[in-house]
Amino acid sequence: MEVTPSHTQAVSGWAAMDESGKVVLFSFKRRENGVDDVTIKVQYCGMCHTDLNYINNAWGNTIYPVVPGHEITGVVTKVGTNVSGFHPGDRVGVGGIAASCLDCDHCHRSEENYCDKMTFTYNNISSDGSITYGGYSNMLVADKRFIVSIPDSLPLDAAAPLLCAGITVYSPMKQHGMLQGEAGRRLGVVGLGGLGHVAVKFAKAFGLHVTIVSTSPAKEREARESLRADDFVLSTDQKQMQDMARSLDYIIDTVSAQHSLGPLLELLKVNGKLVLVGAPDKPVELPSIPLIFGKRTVSGSLTGGMKETQEMMDLCGKHNITCDIELVSADKINEALARLALNDVRYRFVVDIGSTL
Ligand code: NAP
């Protein structure tokens, strides 16, 4: 493993060393806390499907060893001399972005997520040449501009997935006007996993009518009873899908596996919008007929900017929106990864880093 000279702080974490799909204990170094930096004792880290994809090299761009984790919550232990907004003891979170150029049009609009030079929290090369390592580790040094405050009302474990799952659905919901306007507009959430279940929670908090489109009949009862979904459609049942034709204003597609957008587009009204946030390792199918005949729009969205992330976190504090999680100890990460691959989680694993690593 290459070591950057300015990286002197010893950290314990979990890393995948190869494509075997497993993580192992891993010691590495992080940079000293710089003038703009905040050091965080990591308490919890959510397990995003993206972690699984990097661990397995599903997208073909994994830099091993990879320390996953970009749904990080913890407590500040140290701040640099230029940091005024955070203090030791503060409860904070870090999501998918570690750095950006801070000087382009996107950065000026706090759309750091679309900056050309954006650096991801893990599996990316930093400006000092080092590889970024994520939150499956006991300590993180983060730039003050890429940290959010966690409201006191939110528990650090159930808030952790908001840093990726939450902001990834909140950002397009806001951009496409789903959270504004009259109540009763109809949203379809495709895939009831980590991202999907938070989309349902935001939608219900903002008065939308929510239809879940799922491959898992076993999720229906809980989706209706505890997530308060209005409708539940099995995407594998053609009759159920036909009965819902032209009924939705918007769709958020969070599916992690290859699929066709055709049957989903048929669910949209004329002019309806489908936002793709799921990132399967193989291309999704986009047939032209349902797109053309309904004048429908398909778009994509990548996580969210920092201002928007803080705004979402504050809204969650106000509306008491947290994630439904299964807390696992650090030595059970591999079991959780195996279950995540089998779509066996309600709805997000969160690793208890603080008390078990
Ligand atoms: P997840 O918790 O595993 O949920 C994905 C859901 O997709 C599953 O719960 C399942 O829902 C559905 N699904 C799984 N296999 C399927 C199949 N073969 N056919 C149809 N549906 C299937 O994953 P996640 O953490 O929410 O992430 C979802 C996707 O978003 C991943 O591809 C991830 O990499 C990506 N992602 C993108 C961004 C971004 O910035 N755009 C950020 C984070 C994650 P049902 O059981 O209800 O069918």
If you measure from the C-alpha of residue 225 to the centroid of ligand 1, how many angstroms do you get, rounded to a whole number?
22
With a cut of 90, say whether residue 183 has pLDDT above it.
no
The rounded percent of the chain whose pLDDT value lies above 70 is 99
If you measure from the C-alpha of residue 103 to the centroid of ligand 1, how many angstroms do you get, rounded to a whole number?
33
C-alpha distances out from residue 98 to 72, 205, 263, Å: 12, 30, 37
For residue 267, give the amino acid letter. L
- Per-residue pLDDT reduced to its tens digit, 73-112: 999 999 999 999 999 999 999 999 999 999 999 999 999 9
At 5 the pLDDT is 81
Which atom, in ligand 1's list, is nearest to the CA of 49?
25
Whole-prediction pTM: 0.97
CB of 255 shorter than 6 A to ligand 1:
yes
The rounded percent of the chain whose pLDDT value lies above 90 is 96
* DSSP letters for 146-208: G-EEPPTTS-HHHHGGGGTHHHHHHHHHHHTTTTSS-TT-EEEEE--SHHHHHHHHHHHHTT-
If you measure from the C-alpha of residue 18 to the centroid of ligand 1, how many angstroms do you get, rounded to a whole number?
23
- Per-residue pLDDT reduced to its tens digit, 269-288: 999 999 999 999 999 999 99
Which atom, in ligand 1's list, is nearest to the CA of 256?
32
Q: How many CB atoms lie within 10 A of CB 271?
A: 10
Q: How confident is the model at residue 187 (pLDDT cuts 50, 70, 90)?
A: very high
129 in the Ramachandran plot: left (φ > 0), alpha (ψ -120 to 50) or beta?
left
With a cut of 70, say whether residue 2 has pLDDT above it.
no
At 1 the pLDDT is 58
At 215 the pLDDT is 98
